């Protein structure tokens, strides 16, 4: 069995499962945000049920349009707060404590290897970086889980992606996943579990692993997952709320069998991969940054659930230190959580961004989905560390978004066009 199949089986009352089986599985954490949870809450309340299945197993994070950008977004956030208060939901995160949900939950120790996590947000697949099965669901599925504590789904077959070789300078997990999506396409892993492995993955820091699993959905995948190892254990020891003495051994035993069945196995020599850029209007339009060096930009965004973590901001600052943002470019930097925001101030990263001429924002999803804090006008072009560049994703339908890692986004902000980080040394 694969690691995905093992996790799903453990959450059912079945003795065995196989790909394409439909299962009814117990959920360890159910997540909603200020866009999707209000729909789930209304559906929950329409049933007349008086209690949620487990107040400690629900997380509500108002992050997409918060701090509230207008009356409608304020009403959405208020609905979450009222529901959380009514049901005494422990994991409700108000502005000032909240962060971008997929960076916040792992940081809060709410994600553990072997867990089954659903969220009414497609990038819930992020948590596979810690060896959990996590996937996005619709708001009505979330409402049903609020009542039953279970989810109904089909067991996905797994694809294995093996990475070997030596990473070139400035190449990160974001580049590996953009390259992979460029190879297989936006439906190349449709309803499959993308299992990332190989010597490169085993040496990859946690933040890069989060970035890779986060974007599994951009290849059409049901989930992304990495077998937990020593790096994951070290991370968990820093954040986990409860750490049983037997946890480390059990975590390290959570892996795919050697004779597990995959629909396909793909191998990549990462030494051949340059920093990647995905051109409009699909993440699969990926290519080396040098291919795009003549593309002028109006805006650069560093942040999101893909690349708003502390290592991402440190990487951007390596490029920006003692540099100035191009006079024709807006650079918007958004730490993904309050903790990351505070750490950025403590390390002097915030000062580097501000001296360079960037805007340093409170945590929010903001411009990623065309919400606020950086909407594009007609004809404008942005480079962003976000995860999607669909037509109209960040504003006007005739604007453009290019995806890249934080170093490339920072270098591009300095040059006024898409640029390799080495160009601004």
Backbone angles phi, psi at 276, to 5 degrees: -105, 150
Considering 223, 248, 268, which residue would you say is the last residue of a domain?
268
Give the separation between CA 236 and CA 254, rounded to whole angstroms. 15
Number of domains in the chain: 2
- Give CA 56 to chain center in angstroms: 22
- Same domain for 263 and 219? yes
Mean pLDDT of the chain: 96
Give the separation between CA 116 and CA 108, rounded to whole angstroms. 17
Query: Is the pLDDT at 245 greater than 60, yes or no?
Result: no
Closest CA to 134 of 30, 253, 17: 30
pLDDT of residue 192: 98
- Same domain for 246 and 321? no
Give the separation between CA 297 and CA 40, rounded to whole angstroms. 39
Sign (positive or negative) of CA dihedral 107, 123, 34, 405: positive
- Same domain for 60 and 198? yes
- pLDDT tens figures, 144-197: 999 999 999 999 999 999 999 999 999 999 999 999 999 999 999 999 999 999
Whether the bond between 281 and the residue before it is cis, its omega within 30 degrees of 0, is yes
Give the separation between CA 33 and CA 54, rounded to whole angstroms. 18
- Same domain for 253 and 334? no
- Same domain for 247 and 371? no
- pLDDT tens figures, 23-36: 999 999 999 999 99
Residues forming beta bridges with residue 206, ordered by sequence position: none
Give the separation between CA 223 and CA 4, rounded to whole angstroms. 9
- Same domain for 229 and 85? yes
- pLDDT tens figures, 383-406: 999 999 999 999 999 999 999 999
- Same domain for 51 and 200? yes
- Same domain for 262 and 282? no
Q: Kindly tell me the burial class for residue 48, based on how many C-beta atoms sit within 10 Å of its own C-beta (0-12, 13-18, 19 or more).
A: exposed
Considering 268, 298, 327, which residue would you say is the last residue of a domain?
268
| 3-state class percentages of the chain: helix first, strand second, coil last, to nearest 5 | 40, 20, 40
- Same domain for 309 and 229? no
The runs of H, that is alpha helices, within 240-278 are 247-252
- Same domain for 262 and 342? no
R_g of the chain computed on alpha carbons: 21
Query: Is the pLDDT at 89 greater than 90, yes or no?
Result: yes
pLDDT of residue 248: 79
- Same domain for 252 and 360? no
Q: Average pLDDT in the 68-96 region?
A: 96
Query: Is the pLDDT at 244 greater than 70, yes or no?
Result: no
Tokens encoding 419? 């640029």
Q: Report whether 213 contacts 225 (CB < 8 A).
A: yes
Q: Average pLDDT in the 15-23 region?
A: 97
DSSP string for 319-338 = HHTT----TT-EEEE--SBH
48 CB contacts (<8 Å, ≥6 apart)? none
Domain containing 373: what range?
276-424
Tokens encoding 124? 């819930």
pLDDT of residue 250: 86
- Same domain for 68 and 132? yes
Q: What is the CATH number of the domain that holds 115?
A: 3.30.499.10
SS (H, E, C) 275-303: CEEECCCCCCCEEEHHHHCCCECCEEEEC
Considering 268, 286, 316, which residue would you say is the last residue of a domain?
268
């Amino acid at each position: 069995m694969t690691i995905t199949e093992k996790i799903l089986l453990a959450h059912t009352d079945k003795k065995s499962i196989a790909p394409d089986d439909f299962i009814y599985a117990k959920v360890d954490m159910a997540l909603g945000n200020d866009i999707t949870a209000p729909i789930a809450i209304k559906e929950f309340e329409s049933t007349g049920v008086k209690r949620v299945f487990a107040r400690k197993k629900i997380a509500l994070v108002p992050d997409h349009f918060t701090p509230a950008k207008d009356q409608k977004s304020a009403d959405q956030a208020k609905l979450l707060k009222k529901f959380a208060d009514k049901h005494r939901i422990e994991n409700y995160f108000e502005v000032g404590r909240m962060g971008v949900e997929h960076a916040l939950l792992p940081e809060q120790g709410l994600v553990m290897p072997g867990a089954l996590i659903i969220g009414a947000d497609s990038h819930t697949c992020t948590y596979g970086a810690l060896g959990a099965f996590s996937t996005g669901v619709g708001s009505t599925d979330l409402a049903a889980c609020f009542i039953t504590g279970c989810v109904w789904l089909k067991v996905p077959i797994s694809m294995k992606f093996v990475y070997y070789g030596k990473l070139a300078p400035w190449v990160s997990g974001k580049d590996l996943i953009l390259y992979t999506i460029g190879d297989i396409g936006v439906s190349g892993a449709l309803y499959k579990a993308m299992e990332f492995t190989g010597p490169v993955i085993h040496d990859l820091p946690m933040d890069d692993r989060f970035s890779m699993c986060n974007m599994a959905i951009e290849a059409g995948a049901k989930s992304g997952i990495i077998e937990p190892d020593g790096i994951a254990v070290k991370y968990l020891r820093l954040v986990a709320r409860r750490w049983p003495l037997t946890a480390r051994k059990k975590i390290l035993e959570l892996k795919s069998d050697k004779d597990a069945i995959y629909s396909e196995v793909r191998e990549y020599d990462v030494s051949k991969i340059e920093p990647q850029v995905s051109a409009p209007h699909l993440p699969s339009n990926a290519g080396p940054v040098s291919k795009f060096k003549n593309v002028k930009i109006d805006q650069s965004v560093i942040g999101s659930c893909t690349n708003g973590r502390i290592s991402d901001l440190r990487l951007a600052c390596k490029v920006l230190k003692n540099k100035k943002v191009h006079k024709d470019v807006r650079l918007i930097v958004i730490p993904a959580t309050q903790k990351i925001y505070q750490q950025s101030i403590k390390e002097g990263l915030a000062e580097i961004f501000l001296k360079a001429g960037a805007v340093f924002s409170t945590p929010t999803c903001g411009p990623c989905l065309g919400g606020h804090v950086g909407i594009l006008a007609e004809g404008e072009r942005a480079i962003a560390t976000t995860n999607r560049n669909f037509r109209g994703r960040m504003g006007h339908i005739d604007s453009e978004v290019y995806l890249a890692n934080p170093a490339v986004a920072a270098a591009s902000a300095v040059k006024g066009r898409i640029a390799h980080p080495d160009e601004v040394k």
